[in-house]
Amino acid sequence: MRMVFNVTALVVTGLLIAPGVALAQGAKPSLPQNPNIIIDYTEPVDPARMNFDPDDPKLSADDKAKLKKLQANYEAMKGVRERLMKSRLLERYRLFLSAVRFPTTFRLRTKQCDELNAFYSSTDDSLNLCYEYVLSFEQKAPNDTTPEGITREEAIVGSIVSTMLHETGHALFSMFRVPILGREEDAADQIAGFVMLQFGNDVARTTIKGAAWKWASQDWSDPAYHDVHSTPQQRFYNFLCMAYGGDPAGFQEFIDKGWLPKWRVPNCAREYQQAKLAFEKTIGPHIDWDMVKRVQATTWLQSNEVPPVAPSQPQTALPSASTPSTAPGQPAKGP
């Protein structure tokens, strides 16, 4: 299945300068809106509605400090929401999902979560992308292109796309009652990695490299082997292997630069074909393939330079194939 998806074009507004991915303004895809998908950019929590008077003389210094922190967080979350709305992220993702025959209403939602997360809820069949998580991608993304060749655009775009596709995988499993042999979190990662490779070479490279950066930027020193997710190390290598298995020539640099261990390489084509077969057999019957061709024929994504901002954390270097792992620890943040 070859799809092209226009990812978020977070603009240079608000508290932070966001990634440089501009929508083709003249592009008006002749795709119908999926009637079973609704979207909602939920407003963040305004401290003014919490019945606190910042000028109340009875407020302690700690209370005033907490209120100030709440106000700053509100402004940050509001800025993320405004950028996402201006980029029309959810509207575009709804078009991307035009080919999926959802049996019931599927809700695409951005919201304040008070944690770094994104999740699918089977209670109301919703994909929830947290403002805090998007903000963390903006803050951690490299200012300049890394020595390994990861751009700021790739880091943020790949992080958001892989996150949304991962949670969409959970939605598809639940809504279509897809049987899963193994851990659902791993299967959702395979959906994300496989679908990213169906975009065409340029978009596939942007999203796969950014997804790899997302897992490389996690703390590798204390992996949580007990978590329902695979460790950041495993997810990093699994995405690289999926990419190489689907397009060896396009992702040869993963081998040449030592990101993917050579002993893993011979198995990557089989891993890709396994994911492809599973997708076709379990998700394929719920896809409108004529609509897929219309989605594929639409140009969605183009790069555009924006002034960078200094990252709030040290620049992440992609690990070499010999990067060690250590003792169990806390689960990585996010889905």
Per-residue model confidence as pLDDT tens digits over 321-333: 444 333 334 445 5
Whether pLDDT at 151 is above 50:
yes
Residue 5 included in any domain: no
pLDDT digit string, tens, across residues 176-188: 999 998 999 999 9
Encoded tokens for 205: 């490279």
Kindly indicate the confidence band of residue 80, based on its pLDDT and cuts at 50, 70 and 90. Answer: very high
Residue 181 included in any domain: yes
Kindly indicate the confidence band of residue 159, based on its pLDDT and cuts at 50, 70 and 90. Answer: very high
> Do the Cβ atoms of 126 and 37 come closer than 8 Å?
no
Query: Which has the higher per-residue pLDDT, 1 or 151?
Result: 151
Domain that holds residue 38: 21-44+85-303
Mean pLDDT of 284-297: 86
Residue 206 included in any domain: yes
The Cα–Cα gap between 73 and 62 comes to 16
pLDDT given at position 8: 33
Report the domain count for the chain: 1
Whether pLDDT at 52 is above 80:
no
Kindly indicate the confidence band of residue 320, based on its pLDDT and cuts at 50, 70 and 90. Answer: low
pLDDT given at position 21: 34
The Cα–Cα gap between 23 and 303 comes to 8
pLDDT given at position 63: 73
pLDDT given at position 332: 52
The Cα–Cα gap between 100 and 16 comes to 34
Kindly indicate the confidence band of residue 18, based on its pLDDT and cuts at 50, 70 and 90. Answer: very low
Lateral strand order in the sheet of 106-111: 37-41, 106-111, 126-130, 118-121
Kindly indicate the confidence band of residue 316, based on its pLDDT and cuts at 50, 70 and 90. Answer: low
Residue 16 included in any domain: no
The Cα–Cα gap between 222 and 20 comes to 33
CA torsion 203-209-211-217 (nearest 10°) is -150
Mean pLDDT of the residues in the chain:
81
Kindly indicate the confidence band of residue 20, based on its pLDDT and cuts at 50, 70 and 90. Answer: very low
pLDDT given at position 31: 77
The Cα–Cα gap between 243 and 196 comes to 9
Residue 78 included in any domain: no
Side-chain-facing half-sphere of 143: CA atoms under 13 Å? 10
Whether pLDDT at 54 is above 90:
no
What Rg, from alpha-carbon coordinates, does the chain have?
20
Whether pLDDT at 311 is above 60:
no
Residue 247 DSSP class: -
The Cα–Cα gap between 233 and 220 comes to 7
Residue 227 included in any domain: yes
Reported pTM: 0.82
Cβ-Cβ contacts under 8 Å for 64 (sequence gap 6 or more):
54
Mean pLDDT of 272-298: 90
pLDDT given at position 315: 54
Residue 57 included in any domain: no
The Cα–Cα gap between 147 and 20 comes to 19
- Which residues are 287's β-sheet partners? 100
Residue 230 included in any domain: yes
> Do the Cβ atoms of 66 and 134 come closer than 8 Å?
no
Could you tell me where the DSSP H helices lie in 106-149? 131-140
